[in-house]
Chains A and B, each alone.
Chain A
Amino acid sequence: MSTPPTPSDATRTPSGLHVPGYVRDPDTHPPLDYPEYGSTALRHPKRPLTLLPHMLTEITAPVLGQDRLGELDHDLTRQHEEEPQGQRIIVHGQVRDSDGRPVPHTLVEIWQANAGGRYRHTSDNWPAPLDPHFTGVGRALTDAEGHYRFVTIRPGAYPWRNHRNAWRPAHIHFSLFGRAFTQRLVTQMYFPDDPLFFQDPMWNSVPDPKARERMLASYDHDATEPEWALAYRWDVVLRGREQTPFESEEEILEDDE
């Protein structure tokens, strides 16, 4: 593993300030225009994206701390007087960057459907019951080694109207900040062996089948707690730092001029 650039790698020149940027990872992500997901039709830009060189605003981000968290935000089974229905699970993992470095003390937000596949949201009105003991929202900070841990229930699959007999595989929405604006990521975690992937445009929108697998949690027997809860492990990888910040910033700016 090479040594990461640090703020001291920033370079002052007579005209300004160079800072190390972040690796671009366009091959990982779904396209904004993806006809199989009907709602993208009117919500994707037609003009090509303009390359934004990474400068100070892009390599920084809010440093969010414990004050954003309530005491039980990490445990979605204890946010009401009684426990929610469903299979109790532990979801845990490590947030790293693409150089393998842990991303410590960063905010992880999750939201999900209940065990019957229904969200506590005014627009979700398909005929599955709401659970009075489940909100479906959690927050946690990663620890010094980038680890996060939630206790929740396994969400159900649910139908939607994208195509005939469309069903979303069970998933948990994740939102991560990382330490830079460039690292911001909102994604979904899926469960192994779900039979619904073949017809799910969200899953299939990720072009590389190997990249799809990176949205998949794995059953973790070591973290499973006897007579209490099954565990799933899901690691998240955010973009890492560029190794040659000076050159790449120059190239990007010259390309644009």
Chain B
Amino acid sequence: MSTYPTTPSQTVGPYLHIGLPWPDGPYAVDEDVPGALWIRGTVHDGAGATVPDALVETWQADPEGRFDHPDDPRGARAHPGFRAFGRCPTDASGAYGIRTLKPGPVPGPHGDQAPHIDVSVFARGMLNRVVTRLYFPEEEAANAADPVLNGIGDPEARATLVARREEDGYRFDIRLQGEGETVFFDV
């Protein structure tokens, strides 16, 4: 039962770059932490054009599937050198990059969820953020049992949530609209 109605969302507008990026934003993990990898991608609009005025934020568990947060009933636990949160504006070519660790499986109501990263995209022309999830291509068995992925019937749509392996990490392109449109969630 809600007593107080919530405050509406508004767009970040074209000048988000002055307010939101942090110098250390792309580094969800310190550079010297073993296992650090890059998540890189490009944000595209419905015409296939790149989006140079977006902001990508990531939030995830640590490699053991734990969160440094009091509402994790297993207890808050910090992973040294790891913030778990990444934030990167897209550059002139629509590209972003987040340096992070691969998360571990996270418990869900019906068993473990596959390793995943929650991703928010904010941009001029978007009156609210959109939210998606990044999954890992080598986790085939875990992905096949994941309750969120299994909620998406269309295999092509589901495939938009699985990153591609690259030399120093993964590629996760985001298509806001049209062909190959990324699956976005009502969160």
Binding site for B on A (CB under 8 A): 1-2, 7-8, 10, 13, 15-19, 23-26, 28-32, 34, 37, 39-47, 49-64, 68, 96-100, 109-111, 119-121, 123-124, 135-137, 173, 175, 179-182, 184-188, 202, 205-206, 210-212, 214-215, 236-240, 243, 249-250, 253, 256-257
User: In the complex, which of the residues A173, A250, A256 has the most CB atoms of chain B within 10 Å of its own CB atom?
Assistant: A173
Query: Using Cβ atoms and an 8 Å threshold, which residues of chain A touch B178?
Result: 46
Q: Is B33 an interface residue (CB 8 A)?
A: no
> What number of residue pairs across chains A and B have CB atoms under 8 A from each other?
265
In the complex, chain A residues whose CB is within 8 Å of the CB of B73: 7-8, 10, 17, 19
CA distance A31 to B8 in the complex (A): 11
Q: Establish whether residues A99 and B4, one from each chain, have CB atoms under 8 Å apart when the complex forms.
A: yes
B interface with A by C-beta (< 8 Å) = 1-20, 22, 45-47, 49, 51, 53, 57, 59-61, 67-73, 83-85, 106-113, 116, 118, 120, 122-131, 133, 147-148, 150-152, 157, 176-178, 181-187
Pairwise interchain contact B129-A186, C-beta atoms closer than 8 A = yes
State A8–B70 Cα separation when bound (angstroms). 11
Most chain A CB atoms below 10 A, which of B8, B19, B131:
B8
Contacts of B84 in A (CB 8 A): 62
User: In the complex the two chains form, is B118's CB within 8 Å of A215's CB?
Assistant: no
Of chain A, the residue at the smallest CB distance from B49 is A42
What residues of A have a CB within 8 angstroms of the CB of B131 in the complex? 52
Asked whether B69 lies within 8 Å of A243 as measured between CB atoms, the reply is no
A52: nearest residue on chain B (CB-CB)?
A: B185
Which residues of chain B have C-beta atoms less than 8 A from A8's C-beta?
A: 73
Expressed in whole angstroms, the minimum distance between the Cβ of A17 and any Cβ of chain B is 4
A149: min CB distance to chain B, Å: 18
| Chain A residues whose CB sits within 8 angstroms of the CB of B6 once the complex forms | 25, 28, 98, 214, 237-239
Of B11, B72, B118, B182, the residue contacting A7 (CB under 8 A) is: B72
Q: How far is the CB of B113 from chain A (nearest CB, A)?
A: 6
Q: How far is the CA of A121 from the CA of B17 in the complex (A)?
A: 8
Interface pair B71/A17, CB less than 8 Å apart: no
Identify the 3 closest CB pairs spanning chains A and B, nearest first: A111-B19, A39-B125, A256-B151
The answer on a CB contact under 8 Å between A55 and B123 is no
Which residues of chain A come closer than 8 Å to B4, judged between CB atoms? 96-100, 237
Q: Across the two chains, which residue of chain A brings its CB closest to B161? A: A50
Q: Are A215 and B8 in contact (CB under 8 A)?
A: yes
Task: Verify B15–A111 contact, CB threshold 8 A.
Answer: yes
Partner of A187, one of B9, B16, B181: B9
Q: Chain A's nearest CB lies how many Å from the CB of B163?
A: 16
Most buried by A among B150, B151, B187: B187
Distance of A54 Cα from B131 Cα, bound (Å): 13
Q: How far is the CA of A184 from the CA of B122 in the complex (A)?
A: 11
Across the interface, do B128 and A29 meet the contact criterion of CB distance under 8 Å? yes
Specify the chain A residue showing the minimal Cβ separation from B175.
Answer: A45
Chain A residues, Cβ within 8 Å of B106: 55-57
Extra pairs beyond A60-B72, A63-B68 (6, CB < 8 Å): A29-B8, A43-B176, A53-B109, A55-B109, A98-B3, A186-B12
**Contact partners of A13 in chain B: CB under 8 A:** 109
Judging by beta carbons under 8 Å apart, are A99 and B110 in contact?
no
- Whether the pair B9, A185 counts as a contact (CB closer than 8 A) is yes
Question: What residues of chain A lie closer than 8 Å to B71, measured between beta carbons?
Answer: 7, 19, 59-60, 179-180
A44 touches B8 (CB 8 A): no
| CB closest chain-B residue, reference A184 | B120
Contact between chains at A49 and B2 (CB < 8 Å): no
When A7-B72, A32-B127, A56-B106 are in contact, do A45 and B176 touch as well, CB less than 8 Å? yes
Known: A18-B109, A24-B186, A43-B46. A137 touches B181 (CB 8 A): no
